[in-house]
Structure 1
Amino acid sequence: MLKIENLSVSYGGINALRGVNLQIEENKIVTLIGSNGAGKSSTLRAIMGLVKKEGRITYDGEDLSSLKTKDIVKKGIVLVPEGRKVFSNLTVEENLILGAYTRNDKDGIKKDMDNVYELFPRLKERSWQKSGTLSGGEQQMLAVGRAMMTKPKILMMDEPSLGLAPILVKEIFSIIQEIHRLGNTILLVEQNAKKALEIADYGYVLETGSLVLEGPGKELLVNDKVKEAYLGESK
């Protein structure tokens, strides 16, 4: 279980997060929703050790707060960043190999690459292709596949559907559910609050750096405040 206690993050004089408390239970899909600037991405970056922070972050009781990012990855916590961030001058296969940079089990790496290709047949068809020439949806699949090569225990995704056509958005959410069925815990930050809450076991709502609401995904879907603010529905 990943536990976040009293997490605060500041950029200059701006408080991006103020005393946030979260719990991500094993083998659950948990989503963070909120408007732009609410602190969702800052939460993920803080977990990964990418920003200075105050508070405590533990995983299975072990304090991660002072660990370097590479050591957090070795613990099995991995981030698929917003904007995909694939290595555009490298092939699909080279990107996937780089995802396994913390590993040295050649047989396991080969098996996991086969699993990624099974999950994303289009990546197998384009394994030789430079990733910069892929479509946006294919690059998102590659970013997720690259993260899967680390053998994650907790897979964090930052806006995986951003900029994708509606048909690809549906496909990405199906893939997230399939990854969860394979035994992975998912922490999802997503602009499409409706789809995120539909698949989430539990959700948190952030507003201007503070946690204002939490509950099972299905309950938040029918909450009047959530419906009005994030789902485009009136009372």
Structure 2
Amino acid sequence: MLEIQNLNVHYGGIHAIKGISLKVEEGKIVSLIGANGAGKSTTLRTICGLKEATNGSIKYKGIELTKLDTSEIVKLGVTMVPEGRRVFSNLTVYENLLAGAYLRKDKENIKKDIEYVFDLFPRLRERINQRAGTLSGGEQQMLAIGRALMSRPKLLLLDEPSLGLAPVIVKEVFRLIRRIHEEGVTILLVEQNAFEALKLCDYAYVLETGRIVLEGTGKQLLEDERVKKAYLGG
């Protein structure tokens, strides 16, 4: 579904992504784990067209994404939930969800999809007219995911969905990611919580200073001594 080949990305003189290659197969959850500054978020931003690739290829269903702008990539079915949630704080919950459907014209289906989001996240229904900036961190994360789902993605990119959340909310977020996946959405997950990410995913890549240094199934990496030592407190 998504295939990255020899991707390089620079920020000025900094070589942030150094020739990485990875695949996301349709219907799978793939995790990208690594320390702060490893290049995980840069990888997602480049897939979405928010950061320009220096060279290399990013293909989604055979279509080269590096030549497209972000709105064209969203229309193809690729949507990102950014790190730090980035909800529109002055807009209500309902208005944030509508903003997620801004490229769509099918008004009746938009109404159905808002109901779907409220079924996934009942707390958002309770706060439908509340300004997003007044929500808790967990509620804002739910809203950010719900807003992304309003574009009807086939491939959902999640950038640090558990960051800054209480442990009980983290478990809820991962449970909801699993449910979204079970309903047919392929997921590429960037996550510092390596244990939860590896438990959840089918396949994973470990990124260190812009390079992929390890890959394997979630189970394989959970049992890998190098991963245990570096990321799992073992």
**Cα RMSD after superposing both structures:** 0.5
- Which structure 1 residue ranges, 4+ long, deviate > 2 Å from structure 2? none
CA deviation profile, 1:15-71 (whole Å, cap 9, x unmatched): 110000010000100000011111100100010111121111111111111100010
SS of residue paired to 1:67? coil
SS of residue paired to 1:183? coil
Counterpart Cα distance in 2 of 1:144 and 1:200? 18
Uncovered stretches (5+) of structure 2, i.e. residues with no partner: none
Counterpart Cα distance in 1 of 2:60 and 2:124? 32
CA deviation profile, 1:109-168 (whole Å, cap 9, x unmatched): 011110000000000010010000000000000000000000000000000000000000
For 1:69, the equivalent position in structure 2 comes to 70
SS of residue paired to 2:199? helix
Uncovered stretches (5+) of structure 1, i.e. residues with no partner: none
TM-score, normalising length from structure 2?
A: 0.99
Q: Which amino acid aligns with 2:23?
A: Q
CA contact (8 A) 2:7 2:18 kept: yes
Counterpart Cα distance in 1 of 2:107 and 2:228? 48
Count residues in correspondence.
233
SS of residue paired to 1:127? coil
What displacement does 1:103 show?
Answer: 0.2
Q: Which amino acid aligns with 2:41?
A: S
Counterpart Cα distance in 2 of 1:58 and 1:175? 27
| Residue 195 (structure 1) aligned with residue 186 (structure 2) | no
TM-score, normalising length from structure 1?
A: 0.98
**Matching of residues 154-165 of structure 1 within 5 Å:** 154-165=155-166
| Residue 2 (structure 1) aligned with residue 2 (structure 2) | yes
Counterpart Cα distance in 1 of 2:125 and 2:110? 15
**Matching of residues 8-157 of structure 1 within 5 Å:** 8-53=8-53, 54-157=55-158
